[in-house]
Amino acid sequence: MKNKIIRGITGDKQIRFFAVDSTEAVKHAVNIHNLSITNSVLLGRLMSAALMMAMDLKSENSVITLKVEADGPVGNTIVTANKKGEVKGYVNNPQVELPLQKDTGMIDVPGAIGKGHVTIIKDLKKKNPYIGQVELKFGTIAKDLTYYFMKSENIPSSVGLGVLIEPDGSVRKAGGFIVHLHPDTPEKVISKLENNLAVFPNLTDVMDMGYSIEEIIEKYILKDLEPQIKRKIPAKYKCNCSYEKFENDIKFLDKKELEKALLKDEALTVHCHFCNKDYEFGKDKIEKILEQM
């Protein structure tokens, strides 16, 4: 698997973990959306997070959405993933680029996002979806989700997300990890995990050295904690839009709007933000839709 997600638990059942190599999926998103470097990192981090969080959903039909709504120059960002390893997303202003942070020399994702909040929506295909929301205190996404897990779900966690950029601005590596601690985790286990994380190098740099996500979990993040991988699936960028789906959506438009398009002899064009495809509905199709109203 070029891209994969793993899920597992330690031998003592005190720590659950997730990890993802999302490199090719992020590259695909960058290409179809023509993303700036800053947006490549932002969307890549969110995609990795959504893919891992989706692995924790109960049903194969369930969907998780991460929505960043803030006042920064990139505007809002949305990513959706399911338990089958499929992810999609987009940024409102995909070409916005910011200078590197003066003090760290890092890509300025916090500056691009600005002030706002991140919303997590879990559509479990029941009557009402679960919705959690926290303020973006850090703007790095990883720290914000660590804060979310503790505040909204009462789960002590550690989240790592990374996108390594080539000198030409393209994506070299992308991935992430999430570890969740059981509420009654012994102090010695917590201490071991903290020590492992303290000496762990940059995630995507380690990936670039040739380490798989399985090896990163086993040899670094959960070293000496007996991690056991329970599930492994491919990850890919996939938009499930179609002509038929948008045709169904058009049926819910105001009848006057469709009649207006007919009078002007204009085709209706519907744009999918997730894959940048346009679907055109001509005069004959609009007339058929009107007949069914």
Residue length of the chain: 293
159 close to 142: Cβ distance less than 8 angstroms: yes
- Structure tokens belonging to residue 110: 């916090």
Confidence of residue 174 (pLDDT cuts 50, 70, 90): very high
Q: Which residue has the higher pLDDT, 15 or 124?
A: 15
236 close to 85: Cβ distance less than 8 angstroms: yes
**What 3-state DSSP class applies to 172?**
strand
Q: Residues of the chain with pLDDT > 90: what percent?
A: 79
Q: Token pair 């200078």 is at which residue?
A: 99
Phi, psi of 187, rounded to the nearest 5 degrees: -60, -35
pLDDT for position 284: 80
Confidence of residue 211 (pLDDT cuts 50, 70, 90): very high
Among 111, 176, 100, 178, which Cα is nearest to 138's? 111
Is the pLDDT at 287 greater than 80? The verdict is: no
Name, in order, each residue with C-beta under 8 angstroms of 13's C-beta and a sequence gap of 6 or more: 182
213 close to 6: Cβ distance less than 8 angstroms: yes
Q: Which residue has the higher pLDDT, 260 or 28?
A: 28
pLDDT for position 274: 95
pLDDT for position 74: 97
pLDDT for position 194: 96
Instruction: Assign domain 243-291 to its CATH superfamily.
Output: HSP33 redox switch-like (3.90.1280.10)
d(CA 159, CA 146): 6
d(CA 266, CA 144): 45
Among 122, 103, 123, which Cα is nearest to 111's? 103
Confidence of residue 254 (pLDDT cuts 50, 70, 90): confident
Q: Where are the chain's structural domains?
A: 4-236, 243-291
Q: What is the mean pLDDT of residues 35-57?
A: 97
Is the pLDDT at 244 greater than 90? The verdict is: no
pLDDT per residue over 53-73, tens digit each?
Answer: 999 998 888 999 999 999 999
CATH number for the domain running over 4-236: 3.55.30.10
Name, in order, each residue with C-beta under 8 angstroms of 187's C-beta and a sequence gap of 6 or more: none
d(CA 282, CA 293): 17
Is the pLDDT at 156 greater than 80? The verdict is: yes
pLDDT for position 289: 78
4-236 and 243-291, same CATH topology: no
